[in-house]
Amino acid sequence: MNIATKDFVKKEIVDAKNDMIKWFVGVFFALAMMIIGLYIKG
């Protein structure tokens, strides 16, 4: 495994982590909006 490959893998892991964070924030935001909506209606 040369250095270039290691850097590439590291970049892939960072990108995947960022995607997961974005997905998690999106889901959390959607749930929060639903709860707020129900709370206002109720």
Coil, helix or strand for 1? coil
Could you give the percent of the chain with pLDDT greater than 90? Answer: 79
Phi, psi dihedral angles at 2 (to 5 degrees): -85, 175
pLDDT tens for 12-22 read 999 999 999 99
> What's the confidence (pLDDT) of residue 1?
60
Predicted confidence band at 4 (pLDDT cuts at 50, 70, 90)? confident
pLDDT at 2 over 80: no
d(CA 28, CA 22): 10
Please give the model's pTM, rounded to 2 decimal places. Answer: 0.60
Mean pLDDT of the chain: 93
DSSP annotation of 25:
H
Delimit the domains of the chain by residue range: 1-42
